[in-house]
Amino acid sequence: KAGVTQTPRYLIKTRGQQVTLSCSPISGHRSVSWYQQTPGQGLQFLFEYFSETQRNKGNFPGRFSGRQFSNSRSEMNVSTLELGDSALYLCASSLEAGVREKLFFGSGTQLSVL
């Protein structure tokens, strides 16, 4: 069974641009969560999607958005990139929503903003 797949693995963007990251959950998993990982702040929750609906959102500005498709694949978008958005973005999937005890993480997308 394939794990959580995130693409691309690396991204380099410049300030002001926008970026879209993709996450394909484990087959059969319907919930996808996104986390931002930085050396200073550690891992911070961005949002969770289940059945194409956002269930929870962390404390991030509106520049960060996401969506989930009918096949459970998810994308997150960051608009008007800032230097501080440089981070590893991790996606995690689970069978059901709110199941924090059975999260499976992808390897992440490393975003560098220049």
Partner 1 sequence: GDSVTQMEGPVTLSEEAFLTINCTYTATGYPSLFWYVQYPGEGLQLLLKATKADDKGSNKGFEATYRKETTSFHLEKGSVQVSDSAVYFCALAGYSTLTFGKGTMLLVSP
Within 74-103, the residues that bind partner 1 by CB under 8 A are 90, 92, 98, 100-101, 103
CA–CA separation, 112 and 114 (whole Å)? 6
Q: Which of 58, 65, 67, 73 binds partner 1 (CB under 8 A)?
A: 58
**Residue type at position 67:** R
Give me the least distance between CB of 35 and partner 1, in Å please: 8
Helix or strand run (H / E) with residue 44: strand 42-50
Instruction: State which residue, 17 or 37, has the beta carbon closest to partner 1.
Output: 37
CA–CA separation, 69 and 56 (whole Å)? 17
**Cα distance between the two ends of the chain:** 37
Are the C-beta atoms of residues 70 and 55 closer than 8 Å to each other? no
Instruction: Tell me: does residue 4 bind partner 1 (CB under 8 A).
Output: yes
Q: Which of 21, 48, 50, 113 binds partner 1 (CB under 8 A)?
A: 48
Judged by CB under 8 A, the number of residues near partner 1 is: 21
CA–CA separation, 12 and 45 (whole Å)? 22
Residues that bind partner 1 (CB under 8 A): 4, 33, 35, 41-43, 45, 48, 55-56, 58, 90, 92, 98, 100-101, 103, 105-108
